[in-house]
Amino acid sequence: MKIGALEAGGTKMVCAIYDDNSALIKKETFPTKEPSKTLPVLIGFFKKEGIDALGIGSFGPVDLDKGSPTYGYITKTPKEGWKDTDIAGLFKRELKIPVGFDTDVNCSAIGEHEFGIGKDVDSLVYITIGTGIGIGVISEGKVIHGAMHPEGGHIMLTKSPKDPSGSVCPYHDSCFEGLCSGPSIEKRWGKKGADLSDDPKVWELEACYIAQAVFTYTAVLSPKRIILGGGVMHQSAMLPLIREKFSEYNGGYINNKFVNDPDTYIVLQSLDDEQGILGAYILGLRALGKSV
Ligand code: ADP
Ligand code: ZN
């Protein structure tokens, strides 16, 4: 049996084929151009492989409401040409197989929960900090969707007096994504994050914001682990500072065995940026009623 997995990103499309024992058979990456150019290439790739099911983790926002006429669509994205694209439906029609669909960050959460550092807990929050910021939430073993999917990148943060610039979010003055994403770092300091590794003030401010968000997710969602990923988290030297600031903001109020051990409560992704595609594979398996 062959399961297809697609991690649909704003810059690249990662396509993989697994057997039903989670062994990778093949993986290829294609650039994300406009849908009319990119989608036929992806369909061709999966058709050639003869897969039994497909799981898709997509950039968003997406419609995950199975009762909605636009279920499986990428909806209000600013990504040129991709607004209102029926991605899940197209693959289902073209490949005539079961298709599982969720956000890219929910897939990362699922990947870490099934194969990685979230294996031993039933409730976790996965945060990706990259070009955008998003969260995937697993609560008591289930991915939280609700009316659509959480938009944890847009929670309000208290702006630091040490912050010399503002938000890059077109919608909000002081949201997490606006203050903390890769593009916000670049706007604030005039250089890309990767070229600012040696400047501690950059990462101190970043860690303060991330810790604020981690505290809010802790208070609202009651997770047992918080997993951090995305390009900006390649600055792993921030981790001790995030843990320290989190404990400071908590002030000892939330008091349980998970939160009380920041070294195991707040951790980095553990699957070398394979967590998203592995989560998409799980969605494909689940579309067939199977699990690992
Ligand atoms: P995307 O969010 O587009 O899927 P990534 O998670 O790789 O992709 O995030 C890309 C963002 O992360 C860019 O804004 C980039 O500047 C930033 N970034 C990538 N590598 C680093 C690094 N080593 N340090 C800080 N920021 C980085
Ligand atoms: Zn915002």
Round to whole Å and give the CA distance between 61 and 21. Answer: 31
Q: From the CB of 182, is ligand 1 less than 6 Å away?
A: yes
Inside any domain, residue 114: no
**Ligand 1 centroid – CA 178 distance (Å):** 15
Instruction: Report strand pairing: 24-31 vs 85-86.
Output: unpaired
- Ligand 1 mutation pick, 12, 131, 268, max ligand atoms within 8 A of CB: 131
Residue 292 placed within a domain: no
- Whether residue 257 is found in the same domain as residue 278: no
User: Distance, CA 130 to ligand 2 centroid (Å)?
Assistant: 14
Residue 233, domain CATH: 3.30.420.40
Number of domains in the chain: 2
Exposure string over 215-231, b if 16+ CB within 10 A, otherwise e: bbbbeebebbbbbbbbb
Instruction: Tell me the percentage of the chain whose pLDDT exceeds 70.
Output: 100
Q: Indicate if the pLDDT at residue 77 is higher than 90.
A: no
The predicted-structure confidence for 146-196, as pLDDT tens digits, reads as follows 988 999 999 999 999 999 998 999 999 999 999 999 999 999 999 999 999
pLDDT over 90 (residue 60): no
Both 72 and 129 in one domain: the answer is no
For residue 11, give its domain range.
2-106+273-287
Q: How far apart are CA 3 and CA 286, in angstroms?
A: 10
DSSP structural state of residue 234 = G
Q: Is residue 256 part of a domain?
A: yes
**Residues constituting the chain:** 292
| Protein residues within 5 Å, CB atom, of ion ligand 2 | 154, 169, 171-172, 175, 178
Q: Is the dihedral of CA 248, 253, 258, 261 positive or negative?
A: positive
Q: Is the CB of 189 under 6 A from ligand 1?
A: no
pLDDT at 79 over 90: no
User: Which two tokens mark 275?
Assistant: 């967590």
Q: Does 143 lie in the same domain as 47?
A: no
Tell me, yes or no, whether 55 and 160 share the same domain.
Answer: no
DSSP 158: P
Same domain, 136 and 243: yes
In a domain, residue 20? The reply is yes
Same domain? For 75 and 151 the reply is no
**155 and 250 together in one domain:** yes
Cα 286 to Cα 53, 279, 290: the distances in Å are 9, 10, 5
Is residue 232 within 6 Å of ligand 1 at its C-beta?
Answer: yes
At residue 186, the pLDDT reads 97
d(CA 28, CA 6) in angstroms, rounded, equals 10
- For ligand 1, whether the C-beta of 98 sits within 6 Å is no
The pLDDT confidence band at residue 119, using thresholds 50, 70 and 90, is very high
User: Is 115 domain-assigned?
Assistant: no
Residue 277 and residue 244 in one domain: no
Instruction: Tell me the mean pLDDT in the region 19-43.
Output: 97
The percent of residues in the chain predicted with pLDDT above 90, rounded, is 96
Tell the burial category of 100 from Cβ atoms under 10 Å away from its Cβ (0-12, 13-18, 19+): buried
Atom 18, ligand 1: residue with shortest CA distance: 231
Same domain, 88 and 126: no
Mean pLDDT of the residues in the chain: 97
**Phi, psi (rounded to 5 degrees) for 124:** -150, 160
Question: Residue range 234-256: average pLDDT?
Answer: 97
Determine the distance separating the centroid of ligand 2 and the alpha carbon of 108, expressed in angstroms: 21
Domain match, 155 and 79 both: no
Angle, CA 253 vertex, CA 252 and CA 259 arms, to 5°: 70
The pTM of the full predicted model, rounded to 2 decimals, is 0.97
Within-domain flag for 111: no
* Ligand 1 atom at shortest distance from the alpha carbon of 235: 24
Inside any domain, residue 34: yes
Contact 57 CB / ligand 1 (< 6 Å): no
**32 lies in some domain:** yes
For the chain, the straight-line distance linking the first and the last C-alpha, in angstroms and rounded, comes to 13
Quote the tokens at residue 3.
């399961």
The finding on whether 229 has its CB within 6 A of some atom of ligand 1 is no
Ligand 1 centroid, distance to 187 Cα (angstroms): 14
What are 182-240's pLDDT values in tens digits? 999 999 999 999 999 999 999 999 999 999 999 999 999 999 999 999 999 999 999 99
Same-domain status, 100 and 167: no
Tell me: do 190 and 248 sit in the same domain: yes
| pLDDT for residue 78 | 81
Mean pLDDT of 6-27: 96
pLDDT at 80 over 90: no
Q: Which ligand is nearest to the CA of 197?
A: 1
- Please enumerate in sequence order all residues whose Cβ is within 8 A of that of 155, keeping only pairs 6 or more positions apart, or say none: 175, 176, 213, 216
